[in-house]
Structure 1
Amino acid sequence: MNGEPTTDTFTIEPPGERLLDGRKALVTGADSGIGQGIAYRLAAHGAAVAINHLDDSTTADAMAEEIRDAGGRAVSVRMDVTREDQVQRAFARAAEEFDGLDLLVNNAGIERPFRLVDMELEWWRKVIDVNLTGTFLCSREAARTMLDRGSRGAIINISSVHEEIPWKEFSHYCASKGGQRMFTRSIARELAPHGIRVLAVAPGAIATSINEDVLADPRRREAVEEEIPLGRWGAVSDVAGVVAFLASDRAEYIVGSTVFVDGGMMLYPKFV
């Protein structure tokens, strides 16, 4: 299940193929796009999943019900990741529901183009607040929960190729992702001795609704594809599969790294 609208029935992987049996996860921004695909993939691999939404709970509630109907564990949790009080309540609820928490995926993020000279302070602050401050608040609460319970676990931050690649008219977004990169590495050093791994996944061009205007324009779509050595846009499932692997014990020696899921975009000559 790739997280895009589908008529397929959600199923949980057979016992021998599950990577995350017994894990207890919270995914921010989990009711659409990449976050939705990640939530479904974690649940398919046996994790209990708290599905974060902002205001309208319709999609998150339906996702949780679908996962429960298939034999999994899931709950929807309302949370604005920029609000400390809401973050604390949401994590407390998830930990109470699942009797702990040992996996956080910081996926919530926003973007909107502005030339530097036209950028409003409100939008600079909004992007930094959601993408960077939200990552801080949720990571702090996840770490507190894991440390209090003596849980080994993982925090996975969904970054972007733009933690490395400059992007004109998105300086606020690039600043947030560059900051997220150093935040990831710094807290990874701090938490690894406690058995909590922190790392990042950086998608490239992924076919989601946020890119629908580009995808609908053959010329613009092809221009992006020319920057991808693999020659295609990524799917949500490409990212979700990597997150599930990195969250599992199979990746237990990966700490503080950013894994790029970009079809080779970072290798494109103008980016290196």
Structure 2
Amino acid sequence: MPYDIKGKIALVTGAATGIGLAYVKELLRNGVKAVTIADIDATKGEDSAKRLNHEFGGNKVIFIRTDVTKADQLEAAFKTALNTWKGLDIVINNAGIMNDANWELQIAVNCNHVVRGSLLAIQYMGKNNGGKGGVVVNIASILGLQELAGCPIYVGTKHFVVGLDRSFGTPFFYNLTGIQFLTMCPGVTDTPLISEAGKFALQGMGNIAKELVEGLGSMPEQHNRSMSSSPVECKVALITGGAIGIGLAIAKSVLRCGARGVMLGDIKEKEGQKAVCELSKEYGENKVCFMKSDVTKKADNEKLFKVAMDKFKSIDIVVNNAGLLHDKDWELEIDVNMKGLVHGTLLGFQHMGKHKNGEGGVIINIASVYGLQQAHGCPVYNGSKYFVIGFSKAMSHKYYEELTGVKVLTMCPGVTETQLIEDAASTALEGFGDVGKILKDGLDALPAQP
């Protein structure tokens, strides 16, 4: 049954200009009772509200200056909307930026804001919280469905939105909250986005700005390429999250295949030291080094690579394996699964890339089977693994490989640790009934990693 928007009340982020403003106009044109515009640009936002009220009559639109990366400001926008209109039915999380040069801000706007906006919508509209349900529309992009070499981190953020909504859009969440989650993946809508795109490309990657501008203009079709794996004999590998589990298994595998050195980084110091003893006993002394490292900290990441270079004089393989399943602490989850992985990837290019006087190499980014399908009970984790796939596919483009001599591969393992399943319920989002059981049952149903 189509959703009737007549008489409904909407909140739209990033709606002072562009596609967000177009959404507001279309809503009003089709009978929405009132709209709250939340945007960081006060001048344009106030002007847009004034013009819309003149065009559509009455006081149907209010503007609230909102930095969507600030939790208190975004919640204040919701509260103001509710206090003004005495209700809320539609939320469009539209605010977004394309700026790989400032990629941490980009993740905060494009990902954290969408999660927080979705959770606030559930808090204030969800039937499980005394509301009457409604609709949440999260704006992704055509680049949430395909890759583009010129803006790999932006691509990852839009894949994140698609993955997040695949989970939030499951019957469990709809039946609990009465909120329908929709995802829109528009093509290029703002010509300044294309003309100014070169300013916001990744730094230190040759003529990547030109690649970005041309790519946005042509929107190339998706291409899948198969690549033969490089032998690891006499190579040096750096592995994050390498103290236990799949990271430790990868360390054993590369040593078994003749690697001359392995650098393990992990926040678990005791387990890391134990791994060094175990691996040294089995594969020989001085082949394995461990450093306590928190992938959410830029300084720790940089030091890990420096220690590896000082110890082994080179790095040939980087495995960004550190990961976290913990939607209850979703901001940390994004920091580990996305920001930590981006840091590791960029440092891999910096230390191995031929454009930086390196000899090339391989970067392996660990995603998950949940990067390929909807996750039951962990929408933010789901989104984070979609991010890994989108980002890594963009970074595997021939442009980067030809410039740097570095291949980027992605692995999507199934469930590898039984403890992950046992602990799953305690890590699920709070306030969603029995979502912990849904998560545990979903993990139980996944194919196990041999």
Q: Normalised by the size of structure 1, how large is the TM-score? A: 0.67
Q: Which runs of 4+ in 1 moved over 3 A?
A: 220-228
1:93-135 Cα shifts (integer Å, max 9, x gaps): 0111110111011110111255xxxxxxxx2211111001110
1-side partners of 2:407 and 2:332: how far apart?
A: 28
Q: Return the letter of the residue paired with 1:27.
A: I
Confirm or deny that 1:205 pairs with 2:420: no
Q: Could you say which residue in structure 2 is the equivalent of 1:119? A: none
CA contact (8 A) 2:294 2:301 kept: yes
Within the candidate set 115, 132, 140, 2:338 is matched to 132
Q: Return the letter of the residue paired with 1:199.
A: L
Deviation at 1:57, TM superposition (A): 2.0
The 1:167–1:221 alpha-carbon spacing in structure 2 relative to 1, beyond 3 Å, is closer
Deviation at 1:82, TM superposition (A): 1.1
Q: Normalised by the size of structure 2, how large is the TM-score? A: 0.41
2-side partners of 1:227 and 1:38: how far apart?
A: 21
Confirm or deny that 1:180 pairs with 2:393: no
Confirm or deny that 1:92 pairs with 2:306: yes
1-side partners of 2:264 and 2:422: how far apart?
A: 24
Q: Return the letter of the residue paired with 2:383.
A: A
1:233-261 Cα shifts (integer Å, max 9, x gaps): 323xxxxxxxxxxxxxxxxxxxxxxxxxx
Deviation at 1:32, TM superposition (A): 1.3
Q: Return the letter of the residue paired with 2:400.
A: L
2-side partners of 1:142 and 1:74: how far apart?
A: 19
Q: Return the letter of the residue paired with 1:157.
A: N
Higher relative contact order (CA 8 A, sep 6+): 1
Confirm or deny that 1:234 pairs with 2:449: yes
1:21-57 Cα shifts (integer Å, max 9, x gaps): 1111111111111111111111221221111121x42
Confirm or deny that 1:61 pairs with 2:276: no
The 1:80–1:226 alpha-carbon spacing in structure 2 relative to 1, beyond 3 Å, is closer
Q: Return the letter of the residue paired with 1:234.
A: Q
Unmatched segments (≥5 aa) in structure 2: 1-229, 425-438
2-side partners of 1:53 and 1:224: how far apart?
A: 24
CA contact (8 A) 1:33 1:209 kept: no
Q: Which has the larger radius of gyration?
A: 2
The 1:137–1:213 alpha-carbon spacing in structure 2 relative to 1, beyond 3 Å, is closer
Deviation at 1:227, TM superposition (A): 6.0
Percent identical among aligned pairs is: 26
1-side partners of 2:359 and 2:297: how far apart?
A: 25
2-side partners of 1:22 and 1:140: how far apart?
A: 23
1-side partners of 2:292 and 2:273: how far apart?
A: 10
The 1:222–1:187 alpha-carbon spacing in structure 2 relative to 1, beyond 3 Å, is closer
1-side partners of 2:288 and 2:386: how far apart?
A: 32
Deviation at 1:211, TM superposition (A): 2.2
SS of 2:396's partner is helix
2-side partners of 1:198 and 1:158: how far apart?
A: 11
Confirm or deny that 1:111 pairs with 2:325: yes
The 1:227–1:187 alpha-carbon spacing in structure 2 relative to 1, beyond 3 Å, is closer
Q: Could you say which residue in structure 1 is the equivalent of 2:400? A: 191
SS of 2:412's partner is strand
CA contact (8 A) 2:319 2:364 kept: yes
Between stretches 172-181 and 146-155, larger displacement belongs to 146-155
Confirm or deny that 1:34 pairs with 2:246: yes
